[in-house]
């Protein structure tokens, strides 16, 4: 075989929706800009795919980034990129929609456009090419992609996607003009951003002076889209079941959206506010349909902090009762140390017992207060001790390095927590130690993100990251304790793009031209090439990554309203530096500024 894993490209999986192109009015190509098995693990894709396909006159097909071996073959044989369902060329579709889940996938977007024979720049595309749109969490700072994407969707996509397709359908039937369409949706719809209808001016120091609409009647601020009633909203009752093993090879069920903890590093925790839950009845109904239609053996209860679900015990015991004899297990992707409950762990382990992962995020209590991660050492001790008593023996701990105000002492806390976990295991009487013990501490390099209290914070330099990593690495001398860390160079590039402005789009284009793609895959990340691209364009990476911003600066993403106010983020940053915590907002409003947030009747 000339390409490995050919089942990435064949489609025909269970629950795929094949539609006759002649019988639909609008064809939407949904693209996750990474390889098949990564993209197929993304819940959002399954939602939008089934949402669009339930409309008889619209169709949605999938497009992924061909792996490098397939790309070579396609370029060699001049085969244009095709959608998986019909194998029709992507360029013959009405829409090509990208989901933006991580910045290091952006060069894949350019590559997908190129492989499809679609001009990469929005301004080079007339009516005979698909409308290229994008959404997802990274769309909250759309500017680094402004030259390539015709239209961004800001916020939750379930309603806005169909609205958009309907308006397009109307335009198409009376003679579609791209510019007219874009102007209409920008002027009339919420949660839409058409970058070509706005312009930006800069100050001498390189910061943004002003941004303004190019025609009258357009909104200055873009409001995010948000769905209020999660029970009433479309939720998929089926999922495509890939033949090949994917990253998350199971049913994924969303319990709620939003999060009340207010961790200061977390973008999702800010932009997905307020918290809104699905009911237990609705979830059980969905679970039944999903298990029936997929034959999957595991249901993952995925949300930002799944243990916070107000009816978690009831939900889990109902699911276990209902599916135990069908050998269907339930899993929670993330456990918060403070809400690990003995009952939940006991319920879950009945079917399967895997390693346990906890995320203290920072090594010292001082620093955990800075980031407002409301857990302490006692929580960790309690949770881990319980896990050992119940027979778990493999523990993973997640940390970040480079958090604001971090000292060497804080960094060494990573080693200390890992050793504490080890001692908790070996201090147990030998007859009570079950399994083969290991603890893994993983550290990622902190990337400050837009719409978080740390959006003004300058990232550590690559050298600073390395010296901190070396400090921990050099201190761990125990075979049972493993320390892993992310490549600081990747996090540096990610920081540049994450808080980039319009000028960063040139860097993306140049880096892609020079061969960058699959930058999220360490074997394909070409740091030197990225540096060359920036140098050629005269762009200083540290301006974006390492610079501390002033509160008065116009940030590139300020024109988007994600819910929480800028003033709230400023207050949180100020408190962070002082090491002051902010309570979980379910215990009482913390004034983040979300319009008419009443917690949507979730609590009490």
Partner 1 sequence: MILRTRFTKVGYLKYLSHLDMVRLFTRTFSKAGIPIKFSEGYNPHPKFSIGNPLPLGTESLAEYMDVELAYWMDPETFIERMNKSLPQGIQLIESKMVEKRASLTSMISWSHYEIRFMSDKLDEEDDFEEALSKWNSLSQVNITKKRKKGKKKVERQLDIKPLIGNITYKGKDNEDFHVLSALLKSGESGNLKPIELMEAMERELDLKVDLDMVMIKRLDVFTDEDGEIKELA
**Residues of the shown chain interacting with partner 1 in the complex, contacts defined by CB under 8 A:** 1-2, 5-7, 9-14, 241, 243-245, 292-297, 326-327, 352-353
Q: What are phi and psi of 559, to 5 degrees?
A: -80, -5
Taking the complex as a whole, the smallest distance from the CB of residue 8 to partner 1 amounts, in Å, to 9
Taking the complex as a whole, the smallest distance from the CB of residue 503 to partner 1 amounts, in Å, to 43
Residue with tokens 């993983």: 442
Q: Which CA distances in Å does 488 have to 228, 371, 399, 461, 494?
A: 39, 20, 14, 8, 10
Kindly report the CA angle at 96 between 95 and 102, in degrees rounded to 5? Answer: 145
Taking the complex as a whole, the smallest distance from the CB of residue 10 to partner 1 amounts, in Å, to 4
CB distance 487 to 577 below 8 Å: no
Residue 60: CB atoms within 10 Å: 28
Which stretches of 240-334 are DSSP H helices?
267-271, 280-294, 312-323
Q: Which is nearer to partner 1, 13 or 376 (CB)?
A: 13
Taking the complex as a whole, the smallest distance from the CB of residue 54 to partner 1 amounts, in Å, to 21
Taking the complex as a whole, the smallest distance from the CB of residue 178 to partner 1 amounts, in Å, to 35
Measured distance CA(325)–CA(187) in Å, rounded: 54
CB distance 493 to 519 below 8 Å: yes
175 Cβ contact list (under 8 Å, min separation 6): none
Taking the complex as a whole, the smallest distance from the CB of residue 6 to partner 1 amounts, in Å, to 4
Q: Which is nearer to partner 1, 296 or 386 (CB)?
A: 296
Taking the complex as a whole, the smallest distance from the CB of residue 242 to partner 1 amounts, in Å, to 9
Q: Is 93 exposed, middle or buried (0-12, 13-18, 19+ CB in 10 A)?
A: buried
Q: Which is nearer to partner 1, 78 or 216 (CB)?
A: 78
Q: What are phi and psi of 327, to 5 degrees?
A: 60, 30
Taking the complex as a whole, the smallest distance from the CB of residue 436 to partner 1 amounts, in Å, to 15
CB distance 502 to 193 below 8 Å: no
Q: Please enumerate, as own/partner, the contacts of 421-426 that have beta carbons within 8 Å and a separation of 24 or more.
A: 421/380, 421/384, 421/395, 421/397, 422/478, 422/480, 422/481, 424/381, 424/384, 424/385, 424/388, 425/388, 425/393
Q: Which is nearer to partner 1, 84 or 496 (CB)?
A: 84
Q: Which is nearer to partner 1, 82 or 98 (CB)?
A: 82
Phi-psi region of 102 (alpha: psi -120 to 50; beta: other; left: phi over 0): beta
Q: Which is nearer to partner 1, 28 or 323 (CB)?
A: 323
Q: Which is nearer to partner 1, 295 or 333 (CB)?
A: 295
Q: Which is nearer to partner 1, 117 or 435 (CB)?
A: 435
Taking the complex as a whole, the smallest distance from the CB of residue 37 to partner 1 amounts, in Å, to 12
Q: Which is nearer to partner 1, 220 or 245 (CB)?
A: 245
CB distance 537 to 119 below 8 Å: no
Phi-psi region of 313 (alpha: psi -120 to 50; beta: other; left: phi over 0): alpha
Which stretches of 358-436 are DSSP H helices?
365-370, 377-389, 408-426
Joined together, the tokens standing for residue 396 give 């993973």
Taking the complex as a whole, the smallest distance from the CB of residue 79 to partner 1 amounts, in Å, to 14
Q: Which is nearer to partner 1, 55 or 347 (CB)?
A: 347
Taking the complex as a whole, the smallest distance from the CB of residue 327 to partner 1 amounts, in Å, to 6
Measured distance CA(349)–CA(357) in Å, rounded: 14
Name which of 573, 551, 534, 547 is nearest 144 in CA terms.
Answer: 534
CB distance 424 to 388 below 8 Å: yes
Taking the complex as a whole, the smallest distance from the CB of residue 172 to partner 1 amounts, in Å, to 31
Taking each helix axis from N to C terminus, what angle separates 157-173 and 178-188, rounded to the nearest 10 degrees? 140
Q: Which is nearer to partner 1, 78 or 552 (CB)?
A: 78
Q: Which is nearer to partner 1, 249 or 464 (CB)?
A: 249
Q: Which is nearer to partner 1, 239 or 496 (CB)?
A: 239
CB distance 116 to 75 below 8 Å: no
Measured distance CA(360)–CA(377) in Å, rounded: 9
Taking the complex as a whole, the smallest distance from the CB of residue 64 to partner 1 amounts, in Å, to 15
């Amino acid at each position: 075989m000339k390409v490995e894993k050919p089942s990435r490209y064949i489609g025909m999986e269970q629950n795929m929706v094949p539609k006759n192109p002649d019988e639909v009015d609008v064809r939407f190509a949904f693209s996750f800009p990474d390889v098949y098995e990564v993209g197929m693990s993304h819940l959002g894709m399954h939602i939008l795919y089934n949402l669009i396909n339930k409309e008889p006159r619209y169709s949605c097909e999938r497009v992924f980034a061909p792996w490098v071996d397939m790309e070579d073959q396609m370029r060699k044989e001049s085969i244009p990129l095709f959608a998986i369902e019909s194998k029709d060329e992507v360029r013959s579709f009405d829409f090509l929609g990208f989901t933006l889940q991580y910045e290091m996938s952006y060069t894949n977007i350019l590559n997908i456009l190129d492989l499809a024979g679609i001009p990469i720049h929005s301004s080079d595309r007339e009516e005979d090419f698909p409308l290229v749109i994008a959404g997802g969490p990274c769309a909250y700072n759309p500017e680094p992609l402004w030259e390539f994407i015709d239209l961004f969707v800001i916020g939750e996509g379930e309603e806005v996607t169909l609205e958009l397709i309907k308006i397009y359908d109307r335009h198409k039937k009376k003679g579609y003009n791209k510019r007219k369409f874009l102007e209409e949706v920008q002027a009339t719809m919420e949660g839409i951003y058409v970058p070509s209808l706005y312009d930006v001016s800069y100050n001498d120091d390189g910061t943004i002076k002003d941004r303004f609409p190019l025609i009258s009647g357009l909104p200055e601020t873009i409001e995010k889209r948000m769905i209020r009633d999660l029970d009433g909203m479309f939720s998929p009752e089926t999922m495509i079941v890939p033949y090949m093993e994917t990253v998350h090879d199971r049913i994924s069920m969303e319990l709620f959206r939003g999060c009340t903890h207010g961790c200061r590093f977390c973008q999702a925790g800010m932009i997905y506010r307020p918290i809104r839950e699905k009911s237990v009845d609705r979830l059980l109904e969905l679970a039944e349909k999903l298990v029936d239609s997929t034959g999957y053996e595991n249901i993952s209860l995925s949300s930002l902090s799944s243990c916070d679900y107000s009816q978690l015990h009831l939900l889990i015991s109902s699911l276990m009762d209902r599916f135990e004899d069908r050998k269907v297990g339930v899993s929670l992707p993330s456990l918060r140390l403070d809400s690990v409950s003995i009952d939940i762990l006991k319920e879950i382990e009945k079917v399967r017992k895997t390693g346990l992962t906890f995320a203290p995020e920072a090594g010292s209590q001082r620093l955990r207060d800075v980031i407002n991660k409301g857990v302490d050492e006692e929580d960790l001790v309690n949770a881990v001790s319980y896990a050992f008593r119940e027979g778990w023996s493999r523990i993973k701990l997640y940390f970040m390095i480079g958090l604001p105000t971090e000292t060497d002492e804080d960094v060494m806390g990573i080693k200390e927590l890992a050793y504490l976990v080890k001692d908790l295991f070996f201090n147990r009487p030998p007859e009570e130690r079950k399994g083969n013990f290991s603890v893994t501490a993983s550290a990622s390099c902190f990337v400050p993100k837009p719409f978080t209290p740390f959006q003004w914070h300058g990232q550590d330099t690559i050298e600073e990251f390395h010296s901190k990593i070396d400090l921990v690495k050099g201190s761990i001398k125990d075979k049972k304790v493993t320390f892993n860390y992310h490549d600081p160079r990747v996090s540096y590039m990610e920081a540049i793009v994450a808080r980039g402005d319009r000028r960063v789009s040139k860097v993306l284009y140049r880096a892609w031209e020079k061969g960058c793609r699959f930058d999220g895959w360490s074997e394909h990340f070409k740091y030197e090439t990225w540096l060359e691209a920036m140098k050629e364009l005269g762009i200083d990476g540290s301006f974006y990554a390492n610079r501390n911003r002033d509160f008065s600066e116009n940030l590139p993403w300020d024109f988007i309203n994600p819910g929480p106010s800028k003033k709230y983020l400023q207050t949180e940053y100020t408190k962070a530096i002082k090491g002051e915590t902010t309570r979980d907002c379910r215990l009482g409003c913390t004034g983040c500024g979300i319009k008419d947030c009443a917690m949507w009747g979730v609590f009490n």
